[in-house]
Amino acid sequence: MSVDSIFVHKMWNDTELSKMVKGGIPFPMLSDGGGRVGSVYGIYDEDAGVETRGRFLIDPDGIVQGFEVLTPPVGRNVSETLRQIQAFQIVRQSKGGEATPSGWKPGKATLKPGPDLVGKVWEVWKVEQAFD
Amino acid sequence: MADEIPVGCARPTGSVEGEPGIALNPIEKEKSVKGGPAAMIKVGKKAPDFTAPAYHKGKFTNFKLSDHLGKWVVLCFYPGDFTFV
């Protein structure tokens, strides 16, 4: 979503993005001229008249599970976004019975919070795992 | 779900559900700039619903966030088309 019109979205997709992504952009490119939606999400820069690089993860119940906002010159890490969604999906599937420690990736061990784990995380999780 | 929209010379734009479809009046704007409840996004809380026109696979459609309940949604804002990053 940006403040550009759907007409500009079409031209950007057709003339440039479709050369980067086969078949063009697969998801809806949303238009927010005036920044009304961006204002409610807290990422509209009124002085510049553009939206900053906000990214929101919204779960199947419509709840915001996470967000990240960057100023324009630095791009996002899409792999990290996907990792976070995978982590939230595991937490959701387990109905909160599992949690993902720092550095968790799909396939790595989760934590099962409970009385037995209090004071014992050091036995099952090492600091190095945060940097894997 | 995402109906195709007719195209005229107007530039349709996004609107927040539950708010009037015109620019906020100055008093409301003042409130939201000062960080009233409407301006705050919090994790664990409901994402504000909105409708926005979209370009999607060759068509102009309308996107309403609440039509996508039941799925994960990644909502990305960015500064502008044809910018560099």
pTM of the entire structure? 0.87
List Cα–Cα distances, A66 to A37, A47, A55, A87, A89, in angstroms: 17, 26, 8, 11, 13
Average pLDDT over residues B67-73: 98
User: H or E segment at A53?
Assistant: strand A53-58
A–B CB contacts, 8 A cutoff, strictly below: 181
- How would residue B13 be classed by pLDDT, with cut points 50, 70 and 90? confident
- Whether B45 sits inside 8 A of A64 (CB atoms) is yes
- Whether B80 sits inside 8 A of A2 (CB atoms) is yes
Residue B17: closest CA among chain A residues belongs to which residue?
A37
- Whether B85 sits inside 8 A of A73 (CB atoms) is yes
Taking the domains of chain A in order of start, what are their residue ranges?
6-51, 79-131
pLDDT, one tens digit per residue, over A98-123 is 999 999 999 999 999 999 999 999 99
pLDDT, one tens digit per residue, over B24-36 is 444 444 444 444 4
Q: Choose the closest CB to A12 out of B47, B60, B82.
A: B82
